[in-house]
Structure 1
Amino acid sequence: MTDSILLEVLTPERRVFSAHVSELQFPTAEAGYYGVLPGHTPLVTAIGDGLVYYTENDQKHWLTVFGGFAEVGPEHVTVLARVSETVEMIDADRAEAARVRALKLIKDAETEEDLDRAQAKLNASLVRLQAAGRPIGH
């Protein structure tokens, strides 16, 4: 058994991230976060919106994921996300502006569908702000 696992994060548009990491966690669609170490039992699961945490060279890092699937194997994890960004790709000012717009959409929502769409936009902006290390509302 090796002491690292290859983590690849892909979207339909590009490869977002690829590196050997010592551990990782990703958000599942239904059951919170799932932790993976080298030698993990194979599985495929739906992922939710949130942060993928990973340790590379003894340093903790993260990136965003929004929906998709994860395929886990003993030496390789592939995350196929609808959308994903590294911390460097996130514009915190833009994410804050999206948060403010989403709050207004929630306040002004007239239907359950409008409310659901606005809440999804709010959640996405909050994930991005968390990844960027920006306090909410600043």
Structure 2
Amino acid sequence: MAGTFTFHVVSPEGNVLKEEIEFVILPGVNGELGILPNHAPLIAALDTGVIRYTIEGKKKNLAISGGFVEVSENKATVLADTAESGELIDLQRAQAAKERAEKRLAQRSPDIDIKRAEFALHRAIARINAADRKND
């Protein structure tokens, strides 16, 4: 398992991360994907969730809200709809967003966009999980 590979995360806002890492776990739409150095080529869709990776023995997290990953030639590139470092997440703000989404879903009134509220809830949960895990 020795070695590293290039891990690059890009969102519409620009480059989020580009580092040499040892290991990454990604939230695939059909379950988690683990990537190690010299992984076979792969393209997969990603779900809203937490990317967990190891750099110089330290565990780090990113919250994403969907996208794609391409693995090729000892490089993994994530094209994410949104991506935010666990270290930069405002936990109180994420918890407030979760509570707002839960309240909207509980109301179930005709003027509430249910899909949008569900997406907001999943994104808030991912952000909370990424922030909570930053000291793993």
Deviating above 2 A after TM superposition, structure 1's stretches of 4 or more consecutive aligned residues are: 113-116
The separation in 2 between residues aligned to 1:127 and 1:67, in whole angstroms, is: 11
1:46-99: CA deviation from partner (whole Å, max 9, x where unpaired)? 111111111111111111111111001241000000100001321111111101
Cα RMSD after superposing both structures: 2.0
Match of 1:28 in 2: 28
8 A Cα contact 1:95 1:128, kept in partner: yes
Does residue 14 (structure 1) correspond to residue 1 (structure 2)? The answer is no
The separation in 1 between residues aligned to 2:87 and 2:3, in whole angstroms, is: 27
Provide the identity percentage. Answer: 35
1:12-47: CA deviation from partner (whole Å, max 9, x where unpaired)? 111111110111110112x11000011110011111
Amino acid at match of 1:36: I
Match of 1:133 in 2: 132
Structure 2 residues without counterparts, runs of 5 or longer: none
Match of 2:96 in 1: 97
Match of 1:41 in 2: 40
Structure 1 residues without counterparts, runs of 5 or longer: none
Match of 1:116 in 2: 115
TM-score (norm 2): 0.90
Secondary structure in 1 aligned to 2:77?
Answer: strand
